[in-house]
Structures are given as structure tokens and as C-alpha cells.
Amino acid sequence: MLANFSVQANCSQLLNIEVRALAGQEKINLCETYADKVVLIVNTASKCGFTPQYDGLEALYEKYKHRGLVILGFPSNDFGQQEPGSEKQIADFCRLTYGVKFPMFEKTQVRKHHADELYQRLGKAAGEFPLWNFHKYLLNRRGELVKSFNSKITPQDVKLIEEIETLL
């Protein structure tokens, strides 16, 4: 119990929140689970023009996970109804179509006036909420927001990779 208190005390309030794994029942505390990791949080969608970014996100995860990067995906149906399926359908799509192995979490709302708690925190900290699918928030090892990247910034964009490498 003391270890959990210590982890939460060293983690920013941005990540001190419980979320449910995609298509699962288990809730996890992001601080406890991803303490000391560089975290990239992305709102995703299966039927979007940016959906191929799953390939790039998985490639980033595979390349840098051993150095401390974790990517957290949060499916959202907020933009253009581009994530209409059930969580099981989303999980199957991500795994079978893009081979996604990075952690995915419950379907969430990310738009400013209806955002779930995590995205309220991220949007306020960044001064911007996602305007479309595949918006990215980059956090350092203390769970503090470093930068926000709009949907057009791909996972292979040199600006994003340089920021990640600096934090690792």
C-alpha cells in the first residue's frame, strides 16, 4: 500500500485516474500502471481518414517501448460517428487489421464540453482539446504534459519523434 501511495504522490494529477481496459471489466490507475513511462495518449477511430496512423503508432510503440514509451489508445465516436462499433468490435479491428499491441482503453468522449475526466484534464493542461480523431498528448515520465499534437501530425513526424527521443 505504501508503494501505491508513493507512486501516486510522484505522479501528476493528469494521470491519477482510473480507466477501464477496452472490452474488459478491469479498471487500472494510469499513475500506478505507467509510472516512470513516457506516455503518448491518442483518441482513435476505426473509420477515419487518419485510421492508418494505427500502423505508425504500433511501430513507435515497438521501437521505443523497451526504452520506456507507452502509447495509450482511447477510441472515440465524437467526430463523424467514425467509431460506431462495440468495444469488442473495436478491439478485434485494432488487433486483426493493424496488429495493435499497445494498451487500448474504454470508448471515451474527448470533445471539450462533453469530455470524460481524463480528456478534460488533458485539454485544460494543453489549452486545446482534440478537434478530430488521432490527436496526441505527450507526457513525460512524471506524467506532466509536454506537448499536444493535432491529428495531421503522424506518428512518423520528425517533430513528434524528436520530442519522444528527448524524453526517453
Positions of E strands within 17-157: 18-20, 27-29, 38-44, 69-75, 136-139, 145-149
Q: Map residue 125 onto helix, strand or coil.
A: helix
Q: Which three cell numbers stand for residue 77?
A: 465516436
31 catalytic residue (yes or no): no
Candidates 11, 31, 48, 94; catalytic one: 48
Phi and psi angles of residue 41, each rounded to the nearest 5 degrees, phi first: -105, 130
Cβ(121)–Cβ(17) below 8 Å:
yes
Gyration radius (Cα) of the chain, Å: 15
Give a three-class secondary structure readout of 54-94: HHHHHHHHHHHHHHCEEEEEEEECCCCCCCCCCHHHHHHHH
Report strand pairing: 27-29 vs 18-20: antiparallel
Q: Give me the active site residues, please.
A: 48
